[in-house]
Amino acid sequence: MHHREVTFVISGPSGVGKGTICDRLIREMDGVALSVSCATRAPRRLKDGSMETDGVHYHFITPERFEAMIDEGDFYEYACVHSGYYGTSRSFVERQKEAGNDVILEIDMQGALQVKATDPSAVLIFILPPSYEELRRRLVGRQSETPEQVEKRLSDGLGQLAFAYVYDYIVVNDDLDEAVAAVADIIRVSRRRTVNNKKTLDDIKRSFLEVK
Ligand code: 5GP
């Protein structure tokens, strides 16, 4: 049964493990594509000491280029986060859906609300840490931000938590395997929603009518 392609939004405070969960979903599930966002911030150093790669972690572009792309309507959604621009390529989303894939967007709540406004059948998933202390421990542990940046991300995280109430699902990332399994369950069950299977329903109904 082929369902209509679904947009999944994954948000959560910085350091909660969204990236790791998304990487696992892409490796372990068929028919899902992860969007690589455009961003104006500089590439960051990763835990293993290497730098983020252009085209893999983000498409790193200048603020001028980003603003030109806004004017050209190139973004499915975009937002200003941590004083930089981030946005999802409209053509990526369209191409993946044409190819029959569901799309996962790892974006902030400003973007999530834009996506829901344009596509009410989009599914919004908010990843939570087990506690504030655990989130602080993970952010400090990844050693990719200065202490000031850690504090900024933690206080932004508190602001984002207020928006978790408007998401369709929350998943607590305490145990990574369990969190990945929970998001995979949400993806599977969302594919079964009537709103995403109208064509199948219509086809079967038509077969009943044709017999009469
Ligand atoms: P980071 O700089 O830590 O990679 O990402 C900072 C924040 O920007 C995260 O909350 C992340 O989800 C969000 N973000 C990344 N890409 C996009 C995007 O394309 N659109 C929006 N709205 N937010 C994004």
**pLDDT at residue 40 in the model:** 97
28 within 8 A of 123, measured Cβ to Cβ: no
Q: Are 126 and 9 in contact (CB under 8 A)?
A: no
Q: Is 114 in the pocket of ligand 1 (CB under 6 A)?
A: no
Q: Which residues of 43-68 are buried (b: 16+ CB within 10 A; e: fewer)?
A: eeeeeeeeebeeeebbbbbeeeebee
- Which residue from 57, 104, 108, 126 has its CB within 8 A of the most atoms of ligand 1, so it is best to mutate? 108
Given a contact cutoff of 8 angstroms between Cβ atoms, the answer to whether 5 and 96 are in contact is: yes
What pLDDT sits at residue 176? 97
What is the C-alpha end-to-end distance of the chain, expressed in Å? Answer: 25
Indicate if ligand 1 lies below 6 Å from the C-beta of 127. no
Q: 41 CB under 6 A from ligand 1?
A: yes
* CA neighbours closer than 13 Å in the CB half-sphere of residue 58: 21
Half-sphere CA count of 169, side-chain side, radius 13 A: 20
7 Cβ inside 6 Å of ligand 1: no
Q: Which of 40, 45, 81, 155 to mutate to test the pocket of ligand 1 (most atoms within 8 A of CB)?
A: 81
**Tokens 């995979």 identify what position?**
184
Q: Is 136 in the pocket of ligand 1 (CB under 6 A)?
A: no
Q: Which CATH superfamily does the domain covering 7-211 fall into? A: P-loop containing nucleotide triphosphate hydrolases (3.40.50.300)
How high is the pLDDT of residue 152? 87
Residues facing residue 47 across a β-bridge: none
Q: Please name every residue paired with 123 in a beta bridge, in sequence order, or none if there are none.
A: 8
Domains of the chain by residue range = 7-211
**Residue positions counted in the chain:** 212
Q: Is the pTM of this model over 0.85?
A: yes
Tokens of 142: 């990844």
The pLDDT of residue 44: 87
Q: Residue of the nearest CA to atom 24 in ligand 1?
A: 107
Residue 79 has what pLDDT? 96
What is the torsion angle, in degrees rounded to the nearest 10, for the CA atoms of residue 52, residue 56, residue 61 and residue 67? Answer: -130
pLDDT of residue 1: 81
How would you write the pLDDT of the chain (212 residues) with one tens digit per residue?
Answer: 899 999 999 999 988 999 999 999 999 999 999 999 999 999 988 878 899 999 999 999 999 999 999 999 999 999 998 779 999 999 999 999 999 999 999 999 999 999 999 999 999 999 999 999 999 998 888 777 788 988 888 888 888 889 999 999 999 999 999 999 999 999 999 999 999 999 999 999 999 999 86
